Chains A and B, each alone.
Chain A
Amino acid sequence: MDNIFAYSFMLKAFAAAVLIAAAAPCIGLPIVLKRFSAIGDAASHSALGGIAFGLLIGINPIIGAVLFSVAAVFGIEGLRKRFGSYSEIATVIVMSAGIGLTAVLSGFIKNGSANISSFMFGSIVAISDFELILTVILCAVIIGVTLLLYKEIFAITFDEEAAGLCGIPVKAVNFVLMLLTALTVSVASRIVGALMISSLLVIPTAAAMLVSGSYRGTLARSIVFAELFTISGLFISYYFDLRPGGTIVLIGTAVLAAAALLKKRK
């Protein structure tokens, strides 16, 4: 059996995976608890549009993904207010627009299908030095800001009205949370693929919620689960010649199902 760490591309893949697995649950936990998981999906579909845009005009696709997913999450926030009690329509509209844009733009890109496909399903082993640096910077921002705003994010996630009454700037913190969601989705598109990003946001959090007894414990365990899924996913995909993104998601789903079954038995 050959040594997986003998290849520099695998070292880069592991470095990026470990960072994203630490960053994704920091955002995944609050958006799941605020019942905004679908926003991750809509942002990731819009990120695909951004990736296509980036490939088309010759900028790094992750930068395109950042721009489009940021526009998507704030577009959703704007549209939600227009639809009142049917606010979930906003998420579907933005998701559809993202897919539509990807379909149109990919028609103008040389080898469009192959390029877009690598971002749809992830291509972590193809990560470039620039993308690794970008991943390091964005993950540091995501982890740093969520740690700095830990008590504010908890208070708003638990009870927005009470948080506002004790002086927390609710709108500003929600703005930051949406911005970080867009960044997480963009940077993670290289790892698990844009179509499966929300699984990295939601599955580790869901599994941790089943086995934790506090908010802090849930956050810590969701990071442990995300690391477990991504690292084992990279190993398994390498030795069994599978696609890393899909393998990571399937391992996460299997662990979540097992945790749910164990909890049910108790």
Chain B
Amino acid sequence: MNEEIIRVENLTFEYPDTAVLKNVNFTLYKGDFLGIIGANGAGKSTLIKLILGLLPYDAGRITLFGTELSRVRSRIGYVSQKANSFNSDFPATVLEVVRANLFSSKGLFRRYTKEDNARAEHALALVGMTEYKDKLIGSLSGGQQQRVFIARALVSEPELLLMDEPTVGIDAASVREIMSIIKKLNSGGITMIMTNHDTPALLDAADKLLIFCEHGYEEFVNRSDLSLERVSSILAGKRVHKHG
């Protein structure tokens, strides 16, 4: 049987006075691509933060690689909406930014080696950014910066990659390039969890969907069972039979 990567059981989280997630359940296996769809404020980014341990959940359970997060942190990569919030005057090269994520394999106090630089360059090659390795990160376009941040997540060779709106604020051509890179990484065996405001792009890439509906419940379905029109009606609050 395919290796189980993440199991989310009855996950519940609320901000003061507002329930954001209530009894969320899903399981992903190696090579799955989960697209999380829903309106702003529906809890998509919150779910990503709960999986990463950036927020404590109120009830339920998240199991990663059959164990708890702290034991498998190095097997998980994360790409956030950095292209929008990034400080463009920060004096760092692309290589320095990507290399920064090698801490889990280096530990405290140890200096970077030629092998570390080679690993960072390999990660940059995966996103087609090798030639920019010595450029200042702030001198790149938003799309190029986001490809660098994907490389940064890839440098530690993660088996599960979480992406929170990685294409927000980026031009259409760059979005197509980034989605193509992400699909290629997924076909190479990396399990993906991704939120994206661009529903058609996500439907094109994902094979499983977690849809947060307007009326406060969620649906976990196989992508092949749904058309874009059907997804729109679910988003509007009409239930479907659950799969997977």
Contact = CB atoms under 8 A, between A and B. Distances in A.
B156 interface: yes
Interface string A152-172: 101100110111011111000
B17 interface: no
Contacts of B102: 166
A154 B106 CA distance: 14
Interface in A171-220: 209, 212-218
B103 A163 contact: yes
B108 interface: yes
Interface string B88-112: 0111110011011111101011111
Contacts of A169: 108
Given A149-B109, A167-B74, A216 B80 contact: no
Given A162-B101, A167-B73, A167-B104, A151 B93 contact: no
A163 B90 contact: no
Given A154-B96, A158-B97, A214-B96, A165 B78 contact: yes
- B contact patch SS: mixed
Interface residues of A, number: 26
A215 B73 contact: no
A33 B90 contact: yes
B82 interface: yes
Interface residues of B, number: 31
Contact of A154 (B73, B76, B92): B92
B54 interface: yes
A160 to B, nearest CB: 11
Interface string B140-160: 000000000000100010000
Contact of B93 (A150, A152, A155, A214): A214
Contact of B52 (A151, A165, A212): A165
Nearest to A219: B91
Contacts of B106: 151
Contact of A215 (B76, B80, B96, B108): B96
Given A166-B73, A167-B73, A167-B74, A152 B91 contact: no
B100 A162 contact: yes
B136 interface: yes
Interface in B9-68: 52, 54
A161 to B, nearest CB: 7
Contacts of A161: 54, 80
A178 B152 CA distance: 27
A147 to B, nearest CB: 9
Contact of A155 (B76, B80, B90, B100): B100
A166 B92 contact: no
B177 interface: no
A1 interface: no
B103 A218 contact: no
A195 B171 CA distance: 48
B210 to A, nearest CB: 21
B78 A158 contact: no
Which 10 A-B residue pairs are closest in the complex by CB-CB distance?
Answer: A155-B100, A218-B91, A215-B92, A214-B93, A166-B103, A167-B104, A148-B109, A166-B101, A166-B104, A168-B103
17 contacts: A33-B91, A149-B108, A150-B111, A151-B111, A155-B101, A158-B90, A159-B82, A159-B100, A161-B54, A165-B52, A166-B73, A166-B100, A212-B91, A213-B93, A214-B136, A216-B96, A217-B91
Interface of A: 33, 148-152, 154-155, 158-159, 161-163, 165-169, 209, 212-218
